[in-house]
Amino acid sequence: MLDFVRNNRRLMLMLLLVLVFPSFVFFGVESYSRFMDSSHDLAKVDGRTITVQEVDNVVRDQSERMRQMLGNNYDPRMFEGAAARQSVLDQLIQQRVVADATAKKNLTVTKDQLREAIAAIPAVAQLYGADGKFDEKGYVQLLAQQGLTPEQLESRMRFELATQQLGSAVGTTAFVPKSLLDRLIAIRDQQRDVQALNIKPADFTSKVTPDAAALKAYYEAHLSAYTTPEQAKVEYVVLSGDALAASQAVTPEELKSYYDSNVQRFRTEEQRRASHILITAPKDAKEADRKAAKDKAQKLLDEVRKHPETFADVAKKNSQDPGSAEKGGDLGFMGRGALVKPFEDAMYALKDGQVSDLVETDYGYHIIKLTGIKPSATRSLDEVRPELEAELKKQLASKKYTELADAFGNTVYEQADSLKPAADKFKLTIQTADNVTRNPNPALGKDSPLNNEKVLKALFSDDAIKNKRNTEAIQVNPTTLVSARIAEYRPAAARKFEDVEAQVRQAYIAQKSAELARKDGEARLEALRKADSASGFGPVMTVSRAKADGLSPKAVDAIMRADAAKLPSVVGVDLGADGYALYRITKVGTPTQSNAAQRDADAQQLSQLAGQTELAAYYDALKAQAKVKLLRPAKTEDAAGSAPATN
Q: 20 pLDDT exceeds 70?
A: no
Q: Please list, in sequence order, all residues whose beta carbon lies within 8 angstroms of the beta carbon of residue 441, skipping any fewer than 6 positions away.
A: 435, 450, 451
* Residue 301 near residue 359 (C-beta atoms within 8 A): no
Confidence class for position 381, pLDDT limits 50, 70, 90: confident
Least trusted range by pLDDT, from 61-70, 549-558, 567-576: 61-70
Query: Comparing C-alpha atoms, which of 590, 589, 572 is closest to residue 581?
Result: 572
More confident residue, 69 or 399: 399
324-352: per-residue pLDDT in tens? 888 999 998 888 877 888 998 899 999 99
Q: What is the mean pLDDT of residues 54-82?
A: 74
Q: CA dist 279 to 261, 282, 369, Å?
A: 47, 10, 15
**283 by DSSP, 3-state: which?**
coil
Could you please report the per-residue DSSP string of 519-575? HHHHHHHHHHHHS---TT----EEEESS--TT--HHHHHHHHHS--SSSSEEEEEE-
Confidence class for position 556, pLDDT limits 50, 70, 90: very high
234-262: per-residue pLDDT in tens? 999 999 887 877 777 778 888 888 888 88
* Residue 341 near residue 359 (C-beta atoms within 8 A): no
* Residue 419 near residue 430 (C-beta atoms within 8 A): yes
257-272: per-residue pLDDT in tens? 888 888 887 887 888 9
Query: Quick one: pLDDT at residue 153?
Result: 84
Q: What is the mean pLDDT of residues 385-398?
A: 81
Backbone angles phi, psi at 105, to 5 degrees: -90, 0
Q: What does the alpha-carbon distance between residue 642 and residue 476 come to, in Å, rounded to a whole number?
A: 9
Query: Quick one: pLDDT at residue 431?
Result: 95
Confidence class for position 22, pLDDT limits 50, 70, 90: very low
Confidence class for position 130, pLDDT limits 50, 70, 90: low
* Residue 333 near residue 271 (C-beta atoms within 8 A): yes
More confident residue, 74 or 339: 339
More confident residue, 269 or 368: 368
Confidence class for position 71, pLDDT limits 50, 70, 90: low
Q: What is the percent of the chain where pLDDT is above 70? A: 89
Q: What is the mean pLDDT of residues 457-481?
A: 90
Confidence class for position 593, pLDDT limits 50, 70, 90: low
142-175: per-residue pLDDT in tens? 887 777 788 888 888 888 888 777 777 777 777 7
Query: Quick one: pLDDT at residue 476?
Result: 86
* Residue 173 near residue 520 (C-beta atoms within 8 A): no
Q: 37 pLDDT exceeds 60?
A: no
In the Cβ-directed half-sphere of 10, how many Cα atoms lie within 13 Å?
Answer: 0
Average pLDDT for the chain: 83
Q: What is the percent of the chain where pLDDT is above 90? A: 39
281-315: per-residue pLDDT in tens? 888 888 888 899 999 999 999 999 999 999 999 99
More confident residue, 50 or 70: 50
Sign of CA dihedral 122, 126, 132, 135: negative
Confidence class for position 85, pLDDT limits 50, 70, 90: confident
Q: 563 pLDDT exceeds 50?
A: yes
Q: CA dist 94 to 57, 78, 89, 212, Å?
A: 17, 21, 9, 61
Query: Quick one: pLDDT at residue 16?
Result: 37
Q: Please list, in sequence order, all residues whose beta carbon lies within 8 angstroms of the beta carbon of residue 187, skipping any fewer than 6 positions away.
A: none
Query: Quick one: pLDDT at residue 604?
Result: 80
Largest CA distance in the chain: 106
Query: Quick one: pLDDT at residue 359?
Result: 93
Residue count of the chain, please give it: 647
* Residue 196 near residue 548 (C-beta atoms within 8 A): no
Confidence class for position 637, pLDDT limits 50, 70, 90: low
Query: Quick one: pLDDT at residue 524?
Result: 95
Return the number of other C-beta atoms located less than 10 Å from residue 348's C-beta.
16
pTM: 0.50
Q: What does the alpha-carbon distance between residue 486 and residue 468 come to, in Å, rounded to a whole number?
A: 5
Query: Quick one: pLDDT at residue 635?
Result: 67
* Long-range contacts of residues 586-593, Cβ cutoff 8 Å, at least 24 apart: 586/193, 586/194, 586/195, 586/540, 587/192, 587/193, 588/190, 588/191, 588/192, 588/193, 588/564, 589/190, 589/191, 589/192, 589/193, 590/186, 590/189, 590/190, 590/191, 591/189, 591/191, 593/185, 593/189
Query: Quick one: pLDDT at residue 12?
Result: 42
Query: Quick one: pLDDT at residue 255?
Result: 85
Q: What is the mean pLDDT of residues 61-80?
A: 71
Q: What does the alpha-carbon distance between residue 163 and residue 153 come to, in Å, rounded to a whole number?
A: 15
Confidence class for position 363, pLDDT limits 50, 70, 90: confident
Query: Quick one: pLDDT at residue 256?
Result: 86
Q: 587 pLDDT exceeds 70?
A: yes
* Residue 58 near residue 105 (C-beta atoms within 8 A): no
Q: What is the mean pLDDT of residues 388-400?
A: 81
Q: Please list, in sequence order, all residues whose beta carbon lies within 8 angstroms of the beta carbon of residue 532, skipping any fewer than 6 positions away.
A: 568, 570, 584
